[in-house]
């Protein structure tokens, strides 16, 4: 009954969804392309059996890359389909995999669109990344006999309470999963309570997604070239740039500030914010040279560069109550990470980084800036934190092999 009501509401919202695609397409034109795929209509059918992975956006696309590569290597007779939802996610998938995989939009969660998607691709296995649990999609996969794995699964306490409020809708969806690979014991317990079966703890794929050596080298070269300490605001979200800039005040002359917004649609907005504060803005996309003011990181797929260029990184999404962004990338690059209070989407990775001494956590923007400036004045502590981060990542690798094994079990 709840799924029927859910479907009815989705159908009623279709005009708004289409209008939103058009609106977002002003800044990101990719949203206006291949809209028919959102309704389950695709081009030529694949010739070989298909293994399907869904990575909703940029973070999931990067996290899924080691598993996608492992599936390609293990299942040479199959084609790989990777679906996504956001324009930035689609661009990231193309940058990561080129033409070696099919990249498409996931259809909206309507029964007809799901049926057309499954009839076209006929996947032998479906892999959903992290928290992508869609009721009609999973019901359709069960009806078509497609085994489904929830990989790299995480479930915060806040999200679990939300799903529990719609138990009649969410419980059948979780029960339709053939297996779940959870990031931590806490995630596993919450997923079991929501109705998921065959839950095992396999760790976080993001520890296996190592940094690109060329971008690391380029970032280190950038830092040497400017001859100043580099403070990075990494993957910042709405409102956070203003909070951090207010706390920082005047940028010290011997510090280069780099700001990298999380979403491409905000690049121009953040550039205007910085300019309105009287700061000179050099844009990375325009080949902006380091100098007084701020370097705006308005490019995709270069977080390895930005982290390698930084002496200290303040992790976005954690200053405002948005759950945080991926601190593992900073640890892998050997860059000390300063976190705000809101890291609930990366709770286990945060706990591990804090315990290892690879990160510091502050109560608010002012505290984060104080910690960051203190670290900039303490090269020995930065070195120790950087080594701790790299050691942490090395110790927690291996999730790809464990989650690949779960995929192969479901295929059998």
Tell me whether residue 60 is one of the annotated catalytic residues.
yes
Q: For residues 352, 358, 362 and 368, what is the CA-based torsion angle, rounded to 10 degrees?
A: -150
Length of the chain: 412
Who's near 342: CB < 8 A, 6+ residues apart? Answer: 317, 318, 319, 320, 321, 322, 323, 324
Q: Is-contact 258 246, C-beta < 8 A?
A: no
Who's near 69: CB < 8 A, 6+ residues apart? Answer: none
Distance CA(117)–CA(102), nearest Å, equals: 13
Half-sphere exposure of 29 toward its Cβ, with a 13 Å CA cutoff?
0
Distance CA(329)–CA(308), nearest Å, equals: 10
Q: Is-contact 21 31, C-beta < 8 A?
A: yes
Identified catalytic residue from 28, 36, 47, 60: 60
**229-236, strands of its sheet edge to edge:** 281-283, 294-296, 255-261, 229-236, 312-315, 337-339, 359-361
Catalytic residues: 60
């Amino acid at each position: 009954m709840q799924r029927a009501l859910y479907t009815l509401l989705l159908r009623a919202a279709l005009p708004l969804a289409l209008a939103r695609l058009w609106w977002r397409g002003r800044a990101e034109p990719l949203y206006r392309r291949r809209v028919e795929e959102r309704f389950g209509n695709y081009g030529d059918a694949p010739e070989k059996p298909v293994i399907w992975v869904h990575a909703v956006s940029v973070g999931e696309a990067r996290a899924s890359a080691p598993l996608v590569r492992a599936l390609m290597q293990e299942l040479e007779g199959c084609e790989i389909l990777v679906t996504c939802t956001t324009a930035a996610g689609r661009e990231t998938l193309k940058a990561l995999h080129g033409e070696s995989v099919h990249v498409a939009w996931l259809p909206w969660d309507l029964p007809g669109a799901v049926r057309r998607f499954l009839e076209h691709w006929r996947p032998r296995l479906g892999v959903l990344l992290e928290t992508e649990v869609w009721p009609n999609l999973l019901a359709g996969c069960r009806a078509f006999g497609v085994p489904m794995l929830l990989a790299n699964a995480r479930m915060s306490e806040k999200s679990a309470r939300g799903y529990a409020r719609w138990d009649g809708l969410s419980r059948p969806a979780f029960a339709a999963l053939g297996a779940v690979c959870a990031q931590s014991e806490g995630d596993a317990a919450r997923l079991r309570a929501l109705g998921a079966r065959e839950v095992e703890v396999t760790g976080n794929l993001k520890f296996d997604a190592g940094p690109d050596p060329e971008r690391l080298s380029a970032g280190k070269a950038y830092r040497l070239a400017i001859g100043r300490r580099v403070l990075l605001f990494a993957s910042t979200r709405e409102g956070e740039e203003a909070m951090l800039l207010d706390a920082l005040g005047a940028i010290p002359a011997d510090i280069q500030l780099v700001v990298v917004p999380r979403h491409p649609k905000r690049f121009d907005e953040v550039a205007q914010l910085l300019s309105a504060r009287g700061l000179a803005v050099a844009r990375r996309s325009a080949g902006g040279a380091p100098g007084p003011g701020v370097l705006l990181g308005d490019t995709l797929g270069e977080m390895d560069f930005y982290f390698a260029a930084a002496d200290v990184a303040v992790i976005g999404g954690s200053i405002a109550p948005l759950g945080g962004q991926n601190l593992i990338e900073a640890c892998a690059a050997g860059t000390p990470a300063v976190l705000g209070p809101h890291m609930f989407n990366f709770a286990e990775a945060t706990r591990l980084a804090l315990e290892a001494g690879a990160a510091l956590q502050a109560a608010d923007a002012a505290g984060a800036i104080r910690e960051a400036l203190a670290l900039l004045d303490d090269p020995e502590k930065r070195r120790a934190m950087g080594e701790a981060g790299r050691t942490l990542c090395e110790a927690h690798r291996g999730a790809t092999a464990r989650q690949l094994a779960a995929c192969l079990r479901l295929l059998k």
